[in-house]
Amino acid sequence: MRRRGHSHGNGFCGIQGTPFPYEEHRKAAQQAVEIAREKLNSERVDLLIPDEINNTLHLRLVDLEQVLDLIGAKPPRMHLVLTGRDAHPRAIEPADTVSEVVEIKHAYGKGIEPQPGIDS
């Protein structure tokens, strides 16, 4: 199995004085959804992780129907892992497994800003 990670988007939206306006964040998120859709249809991917897609949905960078379409298009043998907090109930409903990570401690509580590549 080949492993490849692809990073898409403009980073943090709404925090850390992002230089990008909301519209650019949304455009980048829309492009990421299209890339995820291409991966779903490629038959070359057995694990797809649209990282932080739940947050992008919560921020309205992607639409609920787009996320539901990704879930519905998942081939039977593929694992699709949607990450991020605030998962929409309608995205949880068709899932086989749903987990919640509970924060015990986070650097942000000490005033350490989120680190690109670590927290995003």
pLDDT, position 42: 87
Residues sharing a CB contact under 8 Å with residue 11, sequence separation 6 or more, in sequence order: 18, 20, 116, 120
Q: Rounded CA gap, 120 and 19, in Å?
A: 16
Residues sharing a CB contact under 8 Å with residue 77, sequence separation 6 or more, in sequence order: 46
pTM: 0.74
CATH architecture of the domain covering 22-98: 3-Layer(aba) Sandwich (3.40)
Look at residue 1 and tell me whether its pLDDT is greater than 50.
Answer: no
pLDDT 10s digits, 75-97: 999 999 999 988 999 999 999 88
